[in-house]
Structure 1
């Protein structure tokens, strides 16, 4: 048979989502542009929704994911913490393993 395998990955803690593709994309975009507001705009979500995702992840994980600096003369910005980088690394590693398995199963299907 000729078919494609599809899947979704997310991390949970105590039954609540802490990381999925949308949250991963948000953190990576913040890392790229250095701003929650700019990242939200580029991803087509509201600033409020971006903050809701970040706050929920931080609360559920019990760690800070962003170091933020308010605006002003020099402007504000946001940087990922080492904990944020670690969860992104873990997510990517799991995603890569799923992709390898998917490719193997489709090839042998």
Structure 2
């Protein structure tokens, strides 16, 4: 019998009115949009359809106090997409919180002793 790999995984979502608003996927999407300047490129790197990525961005923009993403129409430079300051702050806050939660989990893995 091989020794089982044990791990504790934590995922956190922020709900608004009982529906998921923000979590690991949306944090990754915003970070990739920020890195690439493109919803299309961000969606592709996540293996997600462009339509789904746009729907996620639209929902975040509608429900947040301020939009998280602003899309620029094409032109001489071909347009692009920018994560706003509000979007950057949300990603940063979520990433910091997840880091603190993960540190707690790493510090106390005694639950795994009972498996």
TM-score, structure 1 length as denominator? 0.88
Give runs of aligned pairs for residues 79-94 of structure 1, distance below 5 A: 79-94=82-97
Moved over 6 A (4+): none
2-11 or 80-89, larger mean C-alpha shift? 2-11
Give the length in aligned residue pairs: 108
Which residue of structure 2 aligns with residue 48 of structure 1?
51
Correspondent of 1:8 among 4, 7, 11: 11
Gaps of 5+ in 2: none
Is 1:69 matched with 2:82? no
Quick one: higher RCO (CA 8 Å, sep 6+), 1 or 2? 1
TM-score, structure 2 length as denominator? 0.84
Pair member with larger Rg: 2
Give runs of aligned pairs for residues 28-47 of structure 1, distance below 5 A: 28-47=31-50
Distance across 2 between alignment mates of 1:31 and 1:86 = 12
Query: Cα deviation per residue 1:56-87 (whole Å; 9 max; x = unaligned)?
Result: 11222232111221113321101111110111
CA RMSD of aligned residues (A): 1.8
Query: Cα deviation per residue 1:25-80 (whole Å; 9 max; x = unaligned)?
Result: 11000000001111112211111100110111122223211122111332110111
Distance across 1 between alignment mates of 2:6 and 2:52 = 36
- 1:24 is displaced (CA, Å) by 0.8
